[in-house]
Amino acid sequence: MNREIQKIIDDLSKHLSGKRLRHSIGVMYTAGCLAMRYGASADDAYLAGILHDCAKEYDNDKLISICRKNKLGMTEYEMSNPFLLHGKVGAYVAEKKYGVKSPDILGPIIFHTTGRAGMTLPEQILFVADYIEPNRKKIDGLEHIRHTAFIDIDKTCALIIDNCLKYLNGKGCVDMGADTLETYEYYKKFL
């Protein structure tokens, strides 16, 4: 682990719960492994992984306030579900506080929760790593998804978004948000 990442971990340990920090470290290492498997930058994947949830524990008012103040843009769905803004705000924090400039780090942070149609490889890597990291609680189909992650990343994205929609439908959630549905429509061809 390089010094820059260790400094970030040290700083995040002051701002994140132990559980959230463990998750972020797990995502960091998982993203690095996936990056090596698929020929992407492991260094970028490590940074995106450790920073992806840097704003996750901000309260809803703070997320909305940061988005408004910095013109980060919010959909009506995000306004109704402000926890989804932690990706946008996280990318903003990564840039302003930690000096991250690369779109191969910032883009994955923005889209790690909902995904998006036609994700770049770095975006797919973080999207998958966030779902399969070793500290993740048991989810139906997780072992199969973990196995597939190192074989076919497009199919893995499809499996994850399909699993998420099934979970949300099972919880009685009928309003999924346009980003999630667009992601599903794009990736379902890989199922």
- pLDDT per residue over 113-122, tens digit each? 999 999 999 9
- Structure confidence at residue 21 as a pLDDT band (50, 70, 90): very high
Global pTM exceeds 0.85: yes
d(CA 159, CA 157): 5
Distant-in-sequence, close-in-space partners of 91: CB < 8 Å, separation ≥ 6 = 106, 107, 109, 110
- Digit-coded pLDDT (tens) for 67-111: 999 999 999 999 999 999 999 999 999 999 999 999 999 999 999
Instruction: Tell me if 51 sits within 8 A of 98, measured CB to CB.
Output: yes
